[in-house]
């Protein structure tokens, strides 16, 4: 998987960024999507019993996130009783009763999904994580995201119907990819045969985070270090003139790509994305 993935999905990347990104929902065609992970393979991960919460969960019936309550079991591993393993029978029963099952952060155990996220991180200069949704017929499986986050929904199998006010409803079939900008109101419902889709959330660094990095770099510059010992000898006008000149130099020499990369790394280390 290479960093040309975004172009494979959206076509002309410059047009996508200029006309669609952060502006409006859009559906794209990505024929390779359904080959990424068959639904049967996702169920095999549940059936093998090696998944441990929070790598799996089910959506709550009344909204408000997900839970693993009622679908876990304790297993004996090397003579120790360890809780929170997936209970395959309980998961299947909840799914049959209409509950949506999620496999969280599959990029940690699936090399193909990890490749997709690595490519999108590079293409979109942001952090990325993913969730797999196994939705029984007619179930609601709207993913939650904040105003800062963008989401790409890959329909891998089955169908899902999306209501995106104020626009018309959209039905996704295998191979479709729905882009949702941050803050987009939405509601999704699985089709008559159920729905199997991968949601990839992209979160780019905020303006404040970039500004904080610039200020930190500026304060570590030789000029700032030199003036720290004698700034009290300067008048307010001299300090202002110095600041204007030196900060201008920092901004003119700024490596924007490196700055964004550092901001993304900082957010990932801090657990934000």
Of 2, 7, 49, whose CA–CA distance to 28 is shortest?
Answer: 7
pLDDT at 2: 42
Q: Alpha-carbon distance 179 to 175, whole Å? A: 13
- Measure the CA–CA gap between 189 and 137, rounded to whole angstroms: 8
Question: If DSSP codes are grouped into helix, strand and coil, which group holds residue 218?
Answer: helix
Q: What is the pLDDT of residue 59?
A: 94
Polymer length in residues for the chain:
273
Q: Buried b / exposed e across 142-153, counting CB within 10 Å, b at 16+?
A: bbebeebbbbbb
pLDDT computed for residue 1 by the predictor: 39
Per-residue confidence (pLDDT) for residue 253, from 0 to 100? 82
Q: What backbone phi and psi angles, to 5 degrees, belong to 250? A: -60, -45
d(CA 84, CA 183): 33
**pLDDT, one tens digit for every residue, the chain (273 residues):** 344 699 999 999 999 999 999 999 999 999 999 999 999 999 999 999 889 999 999 998 876 689 999 999 999 988 999 999 999 999 999 999 999 999 999 999 999 999 999 999 889 888 899 999 999 999 997 655 555 689 999 999 999 999 998 888 999 999 999 999 988 888 899 999 999 999 999 987 667 877 888 888 777 877 777 787 777 778 888 888 888 888 888 888 888 777 777 777 776 665 454
Token output for 115: 């490749």
Are the beta carbons of 141 and 59 closer than 8 angstroms? yes
Q: Check: CB of residue 172 under 8 Å from CB of residue 223.
A: no
Cα 166 to Cα 82: distance, rounded to the nearest angstrom: 48
Q: What is the DSSP letter of 11?
A: S
In sequence order, the 6+-apart residues with CB closer than 8 A to the CB of 119 are: 1, 2, 3, 4, 5, 6
Q: Which residue has the tokens 């393979």?
A: 41
Distance of CA 217 to the CA centre of its chain: 28
Contacts of 140 (CB under 8 A, 6+ apart): 59, 100, 187, 188, 189, 190
Torsion of CA 261, 273, 95, 45, to 10 degrees: 60
Q: What is the pLDDT of residue 3?
A: 46
């Amino acid at each position: 998987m290479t960093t040309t993935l975004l172009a494979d999905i959206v076509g002309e990347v410059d047009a996508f960024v200029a006309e669609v990104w952060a502006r409006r929902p859009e559906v794209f065609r990505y024929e390779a999507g359904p080959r990424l992970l068959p639904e049967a393979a996702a169920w095999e991960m549940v059936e093998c019993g090696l998944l441990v919460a929070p790598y799996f969960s089910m959506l709550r019936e009344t909204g408000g996130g997900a839970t693993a309550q009622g679908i876990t079991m304790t297993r004996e591993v090397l003579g120790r009783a360890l809780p929170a393993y997936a209970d395959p029978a309980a998961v299947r029963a909840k799914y049959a009763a209409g509950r949506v099952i999620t496999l969280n952060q599959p990029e940690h155990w699936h090399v193909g999904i990890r490749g997709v996220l690595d490519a999108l991180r590079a293409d979109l200069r942001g952090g990325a994580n993913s969730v797999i949704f196994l939705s029984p017929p007619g179930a609601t499986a709207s993913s939650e995201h904040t105003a800062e986050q963008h989401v790409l929904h890959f329909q891998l199998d089955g169908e899902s119907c999306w209501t995106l006010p104020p626009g018309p409803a959209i039905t996704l079939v295998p191979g479709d990819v729905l882009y949702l900008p941050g803050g987009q109101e939405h509601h999704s419902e699985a089709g008559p045969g159920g729905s199997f889709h991968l949601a990839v959330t992209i979160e780019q660094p905020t303006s404040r985070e970039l500004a904080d990095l610039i200020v930190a770099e500026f304060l570590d510059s030789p000029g700032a270090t030199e003036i720290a010992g004698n700034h009290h000898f300067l008048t307010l006008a001299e300090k202002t003139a110095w600041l204007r000149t030196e900060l201008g130099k920092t901004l003119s020499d700024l490596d924007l790509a490196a700055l964004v990369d550092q901001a993304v790394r900082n957010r990932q280390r801090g657990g934000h994305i």
